[in-house]
Chains A and B, each alone.
Chain A
Amino acid sequence: MGNRTNEQHALLTDYDTNTAYSEAFHTLFANIRFNWNSDNTEQPRARQIHTLLLTTPTNYNEQAAVAANLAIVAAQSGTPTILVDADLRAPKLEKRFGLGKNPGLSDLLQEEGPITAECVTSCLQTTYVPGLKLIGVGTSTEQGTSLLLSTKLQDVVACTREVLASEAEESRAGIVIFHSAPVLAGADASLIGALVEQTLLTIVVGSTTRAQAKQAQEQLQQAHTKLSGIVMLKP
């Protein structure tokens, strides 16, 4: 589990399961699963691995906690889960789970050869939540967000699904959850959103403006992102 810092304390595992806060994340994951069930009844094995992007219109400190908590709920419900920290601007998830700096997404995107399942597996970090693994931002973040423009991003997404599919049991669906930088901060969220099945936009009550929400929606739609729903946060 590693040393628990202050940043860790916002994770769902620190709360009683019957709190409204905890229930909200269960509801969120249930609604995401309803969407799978309505979309896919008979799917080939590889397609049972779902991909999801969780992003927000503008910068919000607790956004990483929302992605982490959703991943925790997914893993606790028995769904094999990989959480990918794609916020190259402000990486937070490794610290949240008490993990050190390891090779991650940025290293994969700078890989000289082709991206393989083995490459992705080497970047996976095991968290203290059973069934939940993390791909951190990585060690080579000097190039910043321009890394996401790499054509290898698509391969990373595909290989991550492949890795999860090989780890998940035959009958179980898995989920890869991406946490990205805010939509209006750059093209990061749009680039990832274009490669995943679903994108959820987090709206912070009393902070996000109507203009920001609308602009974020338009930006994601321009990238042909499948924006499927909203998560409302009351800070």
Chain B
Amino acid sequence: MELRTYWTIIWRRIWVVALVVIVVGLYAGYQYYHLRKTPGALKAYSSNITLQIGLGRTNNSINNAESIAVVSEDLADALANGPILSSREFDTDVSNQIGHDMSEIVQRYGNNPDLGDWQNAGTIGGALGAVRVHSLVTVTATWTTAPGAWALANAVGEVSDAKIGSYLDYVVTNNLTPISSGNAVQPPVAASVISSATDPATVPGVSANKVTLLILLVLAALIIGIALAFLLDYLDDRIRTKDEVAYLLELPIYAEVPRAPTPGRTVAKQ
């Protein structure tokens, strides 16, 4: 019975509910349309490449395995969590490398592959992430297009392999005196590709969670609309049912006269 009453109130003020939901729905639809039009907003591609960071061989090098392992892990950590991947120099090198790899990319993805904004070093920096396990660093390139994601991951591997020494370095000290100043030669930092760039996989874009928010927004509008309907009904003093009158005036209802039908037409009894 209560539910019936609630439904009657909502149905009576359905225009309020509809108005709020339509206005918010239009806004949500507009936002969704923009998200759909923005590359990488709802859907992106990621490709991984795994590198091993270590020390190269040299004559007279320090062959302390334990020390090498510790240094390698520290260097890998510096690559994964440090500012190298987002540095302008590194990202410019990656961008240049993509340019050099263009024939390989064309061979893989055909002519005129959609690589996105690959010449923008700043964008490349934001697209790279990394995790480390001991001396292994897995770099993930998340990009708006599949060819771009692969090209980026591949270029990161090539740049790291060729130039990691220029981004990562270390100092070995013994009582605050650099050992390399003596006869011993400090081994250079090296990176080798353990696992080449994987085929791009589809991942949620940077704004994928906004779709859920937009749906929640419409649902919230529905709830607000219903609440408004109840509020308006509460504030509306007009009599709607015979029960209201009977309760208010404490008088019997002699008759309920419905709307007059069109003269001459028979209307089914209510």
B37 in contact (CB, < 8 A) = no
Cross-chain contact A232 with B237 (CB below 8 angstroms): no
A235–B261 Cα distance when bound, in Å, is 11
A206–B261 Cα distance when bound, in Å, is 18
Task: Quote the shortest CB–CB distance from B185 to chain A (angstroms).
Answer: 97
Cross-chain contact B249 with A15 (CB below 8 angstroms): no
Interface size grouping (class) on chain B: 20 to 34
B259 in contact (CB, < 8 A) = yes
* Mask: chain B, 120-132; 1 = CB below 8 Å from A; 0 = not: 0000000000000
Cross-chain contact B266 with A230 (CB below 8 angstroms): no
Interface size grouping (class) on chain A: 35 or more
A77 in contact (CB, < 8 A) = no
Cross-chain contact A32 with B244 (CB below 8 angstroms): no
Cross-chain contact A15 with B260 (CB below 8 angstroms): yes
B171 in contact (CB, < 8 A) = no
Q: Which of B226-267 contact A (CB under 8 A)?
A: 237-242, 244-246, 248-249, 251-261, 263-267
A23 in contact (CB, < 8 A) = yes
A229 proximity list for chain B (CB < 8 A): 251-254
- A20-B270, A23-B269, A229-B252 known; A28 and B257 CB under 8 Å? yes
B248 proximity list for chain A (CB < 8 A): 210, 213-214
A65 proximity list for chain B (CB < 8 A): 260
A32–B242 Cα distance when bound, in Å, is 18
Cross-chain contact B245 with A19 (CB below 8 angstroms): no
A39 in contact (CB, < 8 A) = no
A16–B268 Cα distance when bound, in Å, is 11
Cross-chain contact A16 with B265 (CB below 8 angstroms): yes
B269 proximity list for chain A (CB < 8 A): 18-20, 23
A27 proximity list for chain B (CB < 8 A): 254-255
Q: List 23 A-B contacts (CB under 8 A).
A: A15-B261, A16-B266, A16-B267, A19-B261, A21-B261, A27-B254, A65-B260, A66-B257, A201-B251, A205-B241, A208-B238, A209-B237, A209-B238, A210-B237, A213-B248, A214-B248, A214-B249, A217-B251, A229-B251, A229-B253, A230-B242, A233-B257, A235-B259
- For the complex with contacts A15-B263, A16-B264, A235-B259, 15 further pairs of A-B residues with Cβ separation under 8 Å are A10-B263, A19-B267, A20-B258, A20-B267, A20-B269, A28-B255, A32-B254, A206-B238, A206-B240, A210-B244, A227-B249, A229-B253, A230-B245, A230-B253, A234-B258
Q: Which 9 A-B pairs have the closest CB atoms?
A: A28-B255, A14-B263, A209-B237, A229-B254, A24-B257, A20-B270, A31-B254, A232-B256, A16-B266
- Partner-B contacts on A (CB < 8 A): 9-10, 14-16, 18-21, 23-25, 27-28, 31-32, 62, 65-66, 200-201, 203, 205-211, 213-214, 217, 227-235
